[in-house]
Structure 1
């Protein structure tokens, strides 16, 4: 019996050894054939056996599928050009061979299961050890975590410029400037475009004004192309764009209407037309997920006949779907600190006798609820900024002026000077003249703060205009508000404000309800607002 058992054991061991040797040989053949496949079809061999290719992380909510936007990490591509579709110096380049060859970011599920391993073996050989490999190992991407092992993740250069981590050859391919080092021998690549008519596909791209002076009566525009067929975007489908105006100088408006215009098209967010001085401002722009549809967003300057200096430097950040740092829907501006400063477009601390406030503004300014002393803030307070150069920190619409006994509204606005140092609240006020008029106060131009209360007295209002920020009302029609500003607080969360202006600074002498519900006096030298905010 012992001999029989020993013999069976020897036979089984020998058989298993043969099977293992055969398996190793077939594995080696499979690796060689897959490498040959990539070398022939794509022009390079990926590091497809690197365990970093298959990160095991939790799938974020809202993604189309678990393989959406994957890209290879840690693979060496120096000296080769795997980027069949990309943007170089603002122009889209395309290799005709193997168009879309990286559409799944390397070895996607269908490529693993059907594109290589299942069909790289003869029909007679049914041994396919990797046929379900992608299904056994979950593959996902967390948009809130920049993995330093991945390509195209954000980085910051020593001088503060934003860039992306890529191999040096890839930085050169996209026309970028290496500024510092990232992990695994990569560089922090800063991409800058200084032309009109280019195309941007890279995150953290700077669009600068051309080196030659921009002439009057001309147009300068670029296109932001959001599409997961580009290798630089396929790991992170894009749902939002943030524009940071590092510098921005164009002609000043005429009576609030822009002579030079900057406008955005192609986004679901309706951004207002702006001009003037806007350094330090920003915009968040919602776009449809680039995993579902490709989108072209256009940024355009139109320059009028005025002779003035035009220059700009706009940082373009592409924010991935599902990221925790996306702005809430319908928020053109979003502030994520417990304290800070918020300004209307074109507000500056400069003495001016002309209107700096822009017409046709309508947007929401939102504030993330921050932790204050370890707890979520329960209120947000705003107060006017301190000015040192002759600017006006709050001036939205000349306070209403109504004189009893006047026969026409035009007589009121032309013969009665208005004290421009008063606040104003509400929407309309009724005169007692002959005839009587319903006169607009904060109806056409206003800053709205829901349940805004005086931090000291508790007096409440929700619409603010005039030359002071104060919810209190004045003593009579000639004095509609107070001559001092106060701190205004709201406990309505999420914290937000709405800024709205109409299309004119001229007097509205004829009311045509419902579109023009009340007459209004002419505005003069409106500046907009600058507010310090604090969450408590």
Structure 2
């Protein structure tokens, strides 16, 4: 083989390696452009010094097509990583009113007094997309109408605002899902939360209607192909993987060390949270996060004037539903049961849980704290959260059975739970 042929082959190998390097899609976009320019200059110098003729027949590949640098070097839109973003090789931050079909997009806003309403249209990247996930990397909107948990019997104000408590009036976020069940409207603090919708053929519109100029958000939108296990089952608004984690209602102060008395769950919520069954795991247990202040569970009224947890038929306004939920009937008081591998053998079955404590005791007098873990072996593992459009505020006295703001913890709080899969 001649020197000329050897060097032409060498050039082809350089370009082949370059193609493979770029196909990994791990280089910053600016660096890629600079690399291409440098490569073109180098190949030009090589061709000049070696008197290579890239217009001769030697440039033809075996299939008869002309060999071209810019036909070989291609930039695939595969996953990329950077210091602050990960998405396609060209990170897309969608602007208000814009539409995207990219498989990874960011919806972002910094405080802007001149731009309050914003809509983003998210369309399927292909016909094979079945689920679209919205990760709230940052999400801080105006709070809903807040209640105030109190033990002061003379506080008349707490009996006049029940119809508005939990409503998103100042700021609102919503996602359409044509042909499917749309997620509930939310507001307030939701950093670290997420939503997943069943992909629609008619696209999805993510809408922000904002009054507070300081409201901010940064949302990552990821599209999942049909059959991708990370997308979660159809109909699950949230999906959790791994062996342990936390799950909370929207607008719960999950990053606070103290849950304040004005902590308020959102109204008109109805959605399901799902948990993947990992290998070797046969049950899942939940327990209220141990935190100061209000505590991390409070939904609806109580049956009597005593602040207690409630179950089943006593839960019809706001509640959590855990299919096949059971507790260990032999639990020792103040002994937190959140232990991986421990599946209770008790038979106090209940599906609905509400009231002021996360509890399943058959005797109401025993439902007075959050020390218990509630487990289920019924699969698929899931929880449904339901709230109505109002909070009960019928009396301005310390009567938890008539006012969800009376007594502590209050029935307006919401929930924040630890969860752990249990060994078979």
Q: 1:397 aligns with which of 280, 300, 315?
A: 300
Number of residue pairs matched? Answer: 310
Aligned to 1:146: none
Structure 2 gaps, min length 5: 1-15, 17-22, 25-31, 34-62, 65-73, 146-164, 331-345, 396-400
Partner of 1:442: 315
Distance 1:345 1:246 in 2: 14
Deviations 1:423-455 (A, max 9, x none): 11122xxxxxxxxxxxxx311110011121113
Shift in Å, 1:456: 5.1
Structure 2 residue 383 is the aligned partner of structure 1 residue 497: yes
2:143 matched to which residue of 1? 252
Deviation at 1:507, TM superposition (A): 4.7
TM-superposed CA distance for 1:211, in Å, is 5.2
RMSD: 3.1
**8 A contact 1:474–1:482 mirrored in 2:** no
Deviant stretches of 4+, over 3 Å: 479-485
Are residues 1:367 and 2:240 paired?
A: no
Task: Indicate how the Cα distance of structure 1 residues 380 and 214 shifts in structure 2: closer, same or farther if over 3 A, else same.
Answer: farther
TM-score where L is the length of structure 2: 0.66
**Match of 2:218?**
313
Match of 1:222 in 2: 120
State the match for 2:404 in structure 1.
Answer: 523
Pick closer, same or farther for the CA change 1:480–1:213 going to 2, 3 Å. farther
- The equivalences for 1:410-489 within 5 A come to 418-420=305-307, 422-427=308-313, 441-455=314-328, 457=330, 458=346, 459-475=348-364, 481-489=367-375
| Larger radius of gyration between Structure 1 and Structure 2 | 1
Alignment of 1:141-156 (within 5 A): 151-156=76-81
Contact 1:240/1:285 (8 A) holds in 2 = yes
| 3-state SS of 1:454 partner | coil
By how many angstroms is 1:209 displaced? Answer: 0.8
**Aligned-residue offset at 1:521:** 3.1
Q: Cα deviation per residue 1:147-183 (whole Å; 9 max; x = unaligned)?
A: xx982122222x2521223xxxxx3xxxxxxxxxxxx
Higher relative contact order (CA 8 A, sep 6+): 2
Instruction: List alignment gaps of at least 5 residues for structure 1.
Output: 1-49, 51-72, 80-128, 131-148, 166-170, 172-189, 229-235, 402-417, 428-440, 510-519
Aligned residue in 2 for 1:163? 87
Correspondence 1:29-178 to 2 at 5 A: 151-157=76-82, 159-165=83-89, 171=90
Sort the Cα spacing of 1:449 and 1:443 in 2 relative to 1 into closer, same or farther, 3 A: same
Q: Which residue of 1 aligns with 2:266?
A: 358
TM-score by length of 1: 0.53
CA distance in structure 1 between the partners assigned to 2:415 and 2:366 by the alignment? 19
Could you say what secondary structure the match of 1:379 adopts?
Answer: strand
Preserved CA contact (<8 Å) 1:196 1:222: yes
